[in-house]
Amino acid sequence: MAMAKVNEGAVPVLETWRGGILENAHLGHAVICDANGIVQTWGNPKAVIFPRSSAKMLQALPLIETGAAAARGLSDAQLALACASHDGADLHVGMAGRWLADLGLGESDLRCGAHEPYDQTERDRLIRAGEKPCQLHNNCSGKHTGFLTVTQHLKAGPEYNEIDHPLQKAIRAVTEETTGETVAGWGVDGCSAPNFAMTVEGLAQAMATYATAREGHGVRESAMNRLTRAMARHPELVAGEGQPCTDLMRAMNGRVAVKGGADGVYVAIVPERGLGIALKIVDGNARAKVAAIAALLEKIGVLDPAHPAAVKRMNPVLHNWRNLETGFLRLADGFPG
């Protein structure tokens, strides 16, 4: 089957109801893979997507495979931060800043841009202090610090976001090798780094490769295994307090690594089942992607549907600013079945 546009063959995933009337319906695609290929699909597995931040585990592979992580003695916490879309809390900003300092570099060496931190405590601190957010507050600052670590190790140029930089060539290579696909194209992500397009199936297959990777079975498998363990053991670094990635990984007691991406993408790595999951919500809706990944994790038996983190995401009641009940979210009929 040829690669398809993102809207081709999408199926209903999540509905929003208000006043007894269907208000919104979010369509999407989802794929579960094991080491041998597709286990189950919803929608079109050949739909081409940008994985956005769900690809950070792929983008972090050269950090280990080039020997940069070993040369710098990076901890699992730092590797988790390299895979993070964090809140810009003091925890995240401080770790990224210290890591840069250890490299003999500073905030100005980052190429991710600055934005207001999502963490309210840090945001309020900046306001009270009359300070502006810096690039360390960017939710991708850990990834970019990892990029700089590789760049320094390779003695490559400082513009590591350029598509022809040795780092980005290495990321493209590992992307194609783990997805089993030639990248369908590339675009510029929110943090200014290249983002390589792939099918939903390809992304799920890459995650299955991580799920089946074993320590001590070659550089690639050992690197994948370590990144997965680092994320699962440090969920607070991957996102932040109250965020879906952090809450869901805690709910599964470090057995599963999950990672969201902007505009409706989510992935999961499930080592105990040897499974990789990828999904894309066509309209990019954030609530729908979180509900969908939680439902898929419940379906394969690794997330307790009664856990508060699952209840909060799958079928929540909606309230307005006066705390009046206004409606509810509901998984669409047939998803995930």
pLDDT tens figures, 301-311 = 999 999 999 99
Q: Rounded to whole angstroms, how far apart are CA atoms 274 and 213?
A: 9
The neighbouring-strand residues paired with 34 are: 37
Q: Rounded to whole angstroms, how far apart are CA atoms 88 and 107?
A: 14
CA 282 centroid distance within chain? 17
Q: Tokens 């550089």: give the residue.
A: 219
Report yes or no on 5 lying in a domain. Answer: no
Query: How far is residue 224 from each of residues 60, 69, 196, 230, 271, measured CA to CA in Å?
Result: 9, 13, 19, 10, 11
Q: Rounded to whole angstroms, how far apart are CA atoms 219 and 68?
A: 13
Number of domains in the chain: 1
Tell whether the model's pLDDT for residue 136 goes beyond 90: yes
Please enumerate in sequence order all residues whose Cβ is within 8 A of that of 309, keeping only pairs 6 or more positions apart, or say none: 244, 247, 248, 250, 251, 294
Report yes or no on 167 lying in a domain. Answer: yes
Tell whether the model's pLDDT for residue 280 goes beyond 70: yes
End-to-end CA distance of the chain, in Å? 24
For the beta carbon of residue 99, count every other beta carbon within 10 angstroms: 23
Report yes or no on 337 lying in a domain. Answer: no
pLDDT at position 316, please?
Answer: 86
Report yes or no on 304 lying in a domain. Answer: yes
Which runs of consecutive H residues, i.e. helices, occur in 114-218?
Answer: 120-129, 141-154, 166-179, 200-211
Average confidence score pLDDT of the chain: 97
Q: Rounded to whole angstroms, how far apart are CA atoms 276 and 290?
A: 16
pLDDT tens, residue by residue, 228-260: 999 999 999 999 999 999 999 999 999 999 999
Tell me, what CATH number does 154's domain have?
A: 3.40.710
Report yes or no on 6 lying in a domain. Answer: no
Report yes or no on 4 lying in a domain. Answer: no
Tell whether the model's pLDDT for residue 1 goes beyond 50: no
Percent of the chain with pLDDT over 70: 100
Report yes or no on 173 lying in a domain. Answer: yes
pLDDT tens, residue by residue, 189-229: 999 999 999 999 999 999 999 999 999 999 999 999 999 99
Range of the domain at 47: 11-331
For the beta carbon of residue 253, count every other beta carbon within 10 angstroms: 9
pLDDT at position 318, please?
Answer: 93
3-state SS, residue 33: strand
pLDDT at position 120, please?
Answer: 97
Please report which confidence band the pLDDT of residue 3 belongs to, taking 50, 70 and 90 as the band edges.
confident
pLDDT at position 2, please?
Answer: 72
Report yes or no on 3 lying in a domain. Answer: no
Decide: pTM greater than 0.85.
yes
